[in-house]
Structure formats: structure tokens, C-alpha cells
Amino acid sequence: NAGVTQTPKFRILKIGQSMTLQCAQDMNHNYMYWYRQDPGMGLKLIYYSVGAGITDKGEVPNGYNVSRSTTEDFPLRLELAAPSQTSVYFCASSGPSYGYTFGSGTRLTVV
Amino acid sequence: GESVGLHLPTLSVQEGDNSIINCAYSNSASDYFIWYKQESGKGPQFIIDIRSNMDKRQGQRVTVLLNKTVKHLSLQIAATQPGDSAVYFCAEIGFNRDDKIIFGKGTRLHILP
């Protein structure tokens, strides 16, 4: 049981480039979330999904897009990378209970 | 807006002593509270939770106290160990299952030898 798996672990992007951060969970959780964590700060919600085919914006959605075609996968897309998107990105999922299971994070640097 | 905050950004505790990490919340409608531990380079890990109809809950070496009158949450760690060094986040969530968790900024717990 792998839990929540995020790839890649590290990535450096140039300004204007695009990339997709992958997130997969094998717990059959309906709820999935994307957070970003800036240095010394807490977690800010980017997007979330309550089930396959349903997504919604969180606190800081600008510059990002998501899709949820399956229960297992919840990729996060950056279309035109900007330095302000330099951060650590965490994916999480939750099931019938409220507790979240987090992935190990993707450290993204935009230069 | 409503938010979850923390009283202290950094807490230094002698190894073996008890640690108390505090958290203030402002949303009186929050129904459920969680403490997470985040070690360096890792994602947050669930420690313990408490519902709004409780005022205390104990786990292994950890206790969470909830004071709804003053909207205060605390995490007590007994006999602090080096492995307890981490950033601790409190989080709150409303009554509805679709409500999103609101995380505080976190408190860094530093263990002194």
C-alpha cells in the first residue's frame, strides 16, 4: 500500500515553461488536494477534488490547472511557470475519515 | 477572514521535558481539529485529532486539548525526544464533509540535548 505518490521529487523550470506534477493514491479516496508550501510558511490550498470528474479552486488557484479523470490520479498543471511558483507542492487525499494522507512533496524551482 | 494561527513560531524544549504547542482558531463553526507533524523534507503526518464535542483526547505520548470558550487548541507531547523535532501544524475543518482543512503557519519544535 503506497499511499500518496508524487512525482517528480525535484524539478527546475525556466520562466514560461510548463510542467505537470503527478499525484496518485491507491487508497480509493474520493477527496484529493493540492497544496503549496513556501519556506517557513503553512500550507495553502491550490485546488481540490471531491471525486472523479469534479474539481474546484482553493485559496491560490491562479497559474494552475487540475483534472480528475480517475479516482486514483490528480495531476497539477503549470502552464507558464513564474518565479512566484517556486515552492514545495504537496498532494493529499482523504477518505471516509477526515484525516489527510500527504505525499512526500515536489520541490519546484522556477528560474 | 477566519484563520488558524499559532502563538509561537519556534519552541525549544529540553529532551525529556514535556512540550506544549498552542494554536488559536477563529472559526467558531469548526467541528474538527487535527494536529500534523512535518519533519524536514517530508510531507505532514497526522498525529491526533479531536472533535468539537470533546475537550481532551489522548494518544501515545500526545494529548490534544480543546477550549472552545477561548477558541484555543494545544498539543502536549510527553517526555520529548529528539525524534519529535519537527514543525507542528494545527488544522481546523467545518461541519460539512466537503469543507476544506485550514492549516495554521506551524510551530517549529527544537529539542535541546
Interface of A with B in 50-89 (CB under 8 A): 50, 58
Interface of B with A in 51-90 (CB under 8 A): 89
pLDDT digits (tens, 9 = 90+) for A71-80: 999 999 999 9
Q: Which of B6, B12, B13 is nearest to B36 (CA)?
A: B6
Best of A100, A101, A106, A107 to disrupt the B interface (most B CBs within 10 Å) is A100
pLDDT of residue B1: 33
Distance CA B90, CA B72 (A): 11
Cell triple for A75: 495531476
Q: Which residues contact A23 (CB under 8 A, 6 or more apart)?
A: A4, A5, A6, A32, A34, A73, A74, A75, A76, A91, A103
pLDDT of residue A31: 92
pLDDT digits (tens, 9 = 90+) for B68-108: 999 999 999 999 999 999 999 999 887 665 667 788 778 99
Average pLDDT of the residues in B55-59 = 96
Q: Write out chain B residues lying below 8 Å of A98, CB-based.
A: 32, 34, 49, 93, 101
Distance CA B74, CA B82 (A): 20
pLDDT digits (tens, 9 = 90+) for B31-50: 889 999 999 888 999 999 99
pLDDT of residue B98: 63
Measured between its terminal Cα atoms, the distance across chain B in Å is 40
Half-sphere exposure of B23 (CA within 13 A, CB side): 30
pLDDT of residue A96: 75
